[in-house]
Structure 1
Amino acid sequence: MDPRETLELYYQYANSGQWMKWCDLFADDMVMDEQLAGHIEGGATLREMMQGGLGGYTEFQNQPRTLFVSGNEGAVVSHITGKTHLGEEIQCGVMNYFRFNDEGKIVYLANFHDSVPFKPLFDPNNKPAQSPAE
């Protein structure tokens, strides 16, 4: 798979909630510097984090606006729209930088965006209610 195809699938899988297929786009030795989740190393760690999808969202879309690929590097300017479990809307511009291995798998990802719209997701007083069985 080439890096452009990987990037197209990255957004397709994220927007359809296919998080395990999304994780398959990353190399086992991947590294991610995610502005909200922090520094993540290893495909197994990423897969474990994404087991339940994107917690806190009832709706999520990350639409690419501009996509660049040059050799084994890529960048995407996109726009996130979402709704939290509390019904709060999130709108945010994003810039993602990617590096790929020779198989087209993502080995490094860094993202950059305004973190203010995401504050409700990280407020300990705004956690979704859990059922008694959890």
Structure 2
Amino acid sequence: MTPREIVDTYYTLANGGEWDRWSDLFAAGAVVDEQLAGRIEGRETLRAAVKGFPELYRRFTNTPRHVLVDGEQAAVISHISAVTPDGRRIEADVANYFRFEGGLIAYMANFHDSVPFTGGAT
């Protein structure tokens, strides 16, 4: 897949709740700097981390608003809308940075307002 195809597939799988297939987009040694979870190293560690998403969010969408792909890098501005099991709504704008190697995500970092995820105002 091209970097653009990887980015498009990343959001399609996340929005479909297909976390196992989503994890397959990452290289075995991928590093993810996730604002809430911290640094996650390795695809299988990431896979284990997202396995719990269905219990954390009754509904979860991450909708890309702007996508920029430049060679083996991409930046995406998106918007997360989620609902927790107790019905609390989460709305947050996000910036994701991706670096690709060998047709997979080798590095990813995300940046967003963390308050909505910790129970604060949205």
TM-score range, shorter chain: over 0.9
Matched, 1:28 2:40: no
**Structure 2 residue aligned with 1:48:** 48
TM-score, length of structure 2 as denominator length: 0.94
What whole-Å deviation, never above 9, does each CA across 1:48-69 have from its counterpart, x for those lacking one?
A: 2223335311000000000010
Post-superposition CA distance 1:26-75 (Å, at most 9, x none): 00010000001110001111112223335311000000000010011000
Give the Cα–Cα distance (whole angstroms) in 1 for the partners of residues 54 and 29 of structure 2. Answer: 22
Structure whose alpha-carbon radius of gyration is higher: 1
Query: What whole-Å deviation, never above 9, does each CA across 1:60-101 have from its counterpart, x for those lacking one?
Result: 000000001001100000000010111011100000000000
Question: What is aligned with 1:127?
Answer: none
Q: For residues 36 and 55 of structure 1, do their structure 2 counterparts lie closer, same or farther at Cα, with a shift above 3 Å needed?
A: farther
- Runs of 4 or more, structure 1, over 2 Å off, are 50-55
Residue identity in the other structure for 1:90: I
The answer to whether 1:117 aligns with 2:121 is no
Q: Which residues of 2 match residues 6-21 of structure 1 at below 5 A?
A: 6-21=6-21
Identity %: 52
Unaligned runs of 5+ in 1: 122-134
Question: How large is the RMSD of aligned CA atoms in angstroms?
Answer: 1.3
TM-score (norm 1): 0.86
